[in-house]
Structure 1
């Protein structure tokens, strides 16, 4: 009786340990090591790191279902940005106006009364407001060329940035990953009760490594399935209603991912770098300069009045060149202001959260599913091997003690 009680106490605890440790190891192997480790065919690298470009592409594809380059352009609030720059850098604005007017009539700006300068500012800024509106339309039409969302996200989540991908996966799927570990222990404990009963009846110690392998295989496979399936709540045997953890937490995950994507991946700094390095940006600038030149034509009579001289096409061409060069030189200095303005203006976290929360569940699950799907069989087999090994040690101990 004492031996039987000991068997029923120890075996379930050991199989619970087997289930927990094999699932824990499987989760760790998803993220570790970051570099290949081992010898020959036994080398292993964390799945996230080994498949970073593929997994980053899956996340980029999911993001593309809820966010587009046109969305970003629509939220730019370029008018607000212009007003902020004028308010923060008034001296630079005056310097640009003075330099442009001096092309037509040197010394005119310096000799103007304050009231006259204010009139020029008001008129010119009014035309700039119109130019911004036209420019936004042009940018919206060229948004797909300017912002390659897939490429940007893959670059920011793979290669030297694979650590960020690992962090995104861990933050987004932290509950599911923890569930895999704990579920292994619970399921292992239940199997252990069955194993203890079988050993009590048949006294066959060699069944323990077999059961250990089954526990390792079963817990790893079933835990992964329970994360993603079923996509919608389903009632089993008329008693239990269950829905996969990941689809059930869609709204919560949408919030977490929206915050991470906006604050770590699609940041104003990354977006600015991405656009400025894109060859299409040069073509857009040329088009915007052409629009600015057209606006200067409308200002010709006003400039002639203030300059006290005829304003020729050559003058306006030179003014366009001066303005373009001056603004280009100023951009690095005002970039911090631009980034500061874009963060609360774009509000990409809110947009991604709102749309991701209602995204089709098959598309939504691709954010995390790919991490397990690619090497799911390997993780399951490793669980079986570890479970069998621990079970063999357990069986050897039982055999040696003569229970």
Structure 2
């Protein structure tokens, strides 16, 4: 213990590489965590008194960038839908509608006032038949548009936003983390490497000029430069370049273009552009709304024909508003649950994963880079400044240690 006390300053000097390696690692890891978490704002008053991960906070803009990259560089939505067997699609759902619409009618009738229900119930069969005819007609229209003019019933942008933002923002975070997993590990590890080198330099500086103020300054430099260098080494150079005649290097992300293309195309096909999401976007919800709206309109007509006054009709529509939404959602779910075979058929027909993979792996470097860098490019300065601030805090701690023992 006596030896430790006498050599405390020497120990502090020898630990400088470790300290600065820790600064580099800590600032880089913290910056990465703050890119993605928390998913929801934590603090007193958004957006300043608190924090939300950069990706969740900008999820809508980032999802739109994904849409732009895909639609401009990788896929043509019309080509995908041209492969869907629309005749089988229409034929497969008509039996499901016949099976489920009568049950849905009973649910809607529950909101009809008891004193008016008898007249409406007497015409239940007619209302069900009309709802079935309307839904089948709507189904034929939708499947026809899928073949001839998909833009009338399908919005690629809306589907991506629905599946990668809001309550599904975690999928966007997972997407960026998966395609950049190795780069993010490198960012953390590089903090140790670069920080240790800076620490060795600081040892020399301290022997030549033991100025306490140099420690927090060095901490700022380490935190700033390690974050900046890590980002540079991920994306530059885009193509393999030889340095000093023997050392070859290529940006880590660009070096993994084939691997990243496989990961991105797999996740996008599984979680976004798949049969289930497509059918939900173009068919389930549309057909369900058609059924419920037709039933509601016919019930109102029956009430009017039975002499119900405007107040009673308004009371029915107000009382049935919630149940109509529930019935539409339930019918959409039933259609979805019974559609596993059709969803698999669409997935096989469209072959989204292979199409995206084949085109992405051959993208020019600048276009490919935007896929990951868009996640934090606008706020790179925040990550770099954060590194400097954290570095300054650790450097101040080391400064107080050295002052205390140097003075002793």
Task: Tell me, yes or no, whether TM beats 0.5.
Answer: yes
Is the CA contact (8 Å cut-off) linking 1:232 and 1:243 kept in structure 2? yes
Q: 1:294-309 counterparts in 2 under 5 A? A: none
CA-based RMSD: 3.2
Name 1:327's counterpart in structure 2: none
Q: How far apart are the structure 2 equivalents of 1:82 and 1:165?
A: 30
Q: How far apart are the structure 2 equivalents of 1:335 and 1:171?
A: 29
Is the CA contact (8 Å cut-off) linking 2:89 and 2:342 kept in structure 1? no
Query: Any unmatched runs of 5+ in structure 1?
Result: 93-134, 283-329
Query: Any unmatched runs of 5+ in structure 2?
Result: 1-5, 100-141, 290-333
Provide Cα deviations, 1:375-399, integer angstroms capped at 9, x if missing partner. 1111111100000110110111112
Q: 1:174-253 counterparts in 2 under 5 A? A: 174-253=181-260
Name 1:18's counterpart in structure 2: 23
Is the CA contact (8 Å cut-off) linking 1:26 and 1:383 kept in structure 2? yes
The alpha carbon displacement at 1:83 in A equals 13
The alpha carbon displacement at 1:147 in A equals 3.0
Residue aligned with 2:51, SS: coil
Q: How far apart are the structure 1 equivalents of 2:86 and 2:193?
A: 56
Residue aligned with 2:376, SS: helix
1:33 aligns with 2:41: no
The alpha carbon displacement at 1:4 in A equals 8.4
Provide Cα deviations, 1:171-209, integer angstroms capped at 9, x if missing partner. 111111111111111100011100111101111122111
- Residues 359 and 32 (structure 1 numbering): CA distance in 2 closer, same or farther, change over 3 Å? same
Q: How far apart are the structure 1 equivalents of 2:90 and 2:395?
A: 71
Provide Cα deviations, 1:130-157, integer angstroms capped at 9, x if missing partner. xxxxx99974441344432222112211
Is the CA contact (8 Å cut-off) linking 1:59 and 1:366 kept in structure 2? no
Of 47, 50, 74, the match for 1:43:
50
Provide Cα deviations, 1:224-249, integer angstroms capped at 9, x if missing partner. 12211221112233342221111211
Is the CA contact (8 Å cut-off) linking 2:20 and 2:199 kept in structure 1? yes
Residue aligned with 1:365, SS: helix
Of 342, 346, 368, the match for 1:364:
368
Is the CA contact (8 Å cut-off) linking 1:67 and 1:352 kept in structure 2? yes
Name whichever of 6-15 and 356-365 sits farther off.
6-15
Name whichever of 56-65 and 17-26 sits farther off.
56-65
Name 2:135's counterpart in structure 1: none
Q: How far apart are the structure 2 equivalents of 1:333 and 1:59?
A: 29
Residue aligned with 2:39, SS: coil
Name 1:354's counterpart in structure 2: 358
Is the CA contact (8 Å cut-off) linking 1:211 and 1:391 kept in structure 2? yes
Is the CA contact (8 Å cut-off) linking 2:55 and 2:376 kept in structure 1? no
Of 277, 298, 316, the match for 1:270:
277
Name whichever of 216-225 and 37-46 sits farther off.
37-46
The alpha carbon displacement at 1:82 in A equals 7.4
Is the CA contact (8 Å cut-off) linking 1:56 and 1:157 kept in structure 2? yes
Q: How far apart are the structure 2 equivalents of 1:50 and 1:275?
A: 28
Is the CA contact (8 Å cut-off) linking 1:210 and 1:388 kept in structure 2? yes
The alpha carbon displacement at 1:7 in A equals 5.0
Q: How far apart are the structure 2 equivalents of 1:4 and 1:331?
A: 74
Residue aligned with 1:38, SS: strand
Q: How far apart are the structure 1 equivalents of 2:271 and 2:152?
A: 23
Name 2:303's counterpart in structure 1: none
Residue aligned with 1:208, SS: helix
Q: Give the number of the structure whose alpha-carbon radius of gyration is greater.
A: 1
TM-score normalised according to structure 2 size: 0.69
Is the CA contact (8 Å cut-off) linking 1:16 and 1:192 kept in structure 2? yes
Is the CA contact (8 Å cut-off) linking 2:38 and 2:51 kept in structure 1? yes
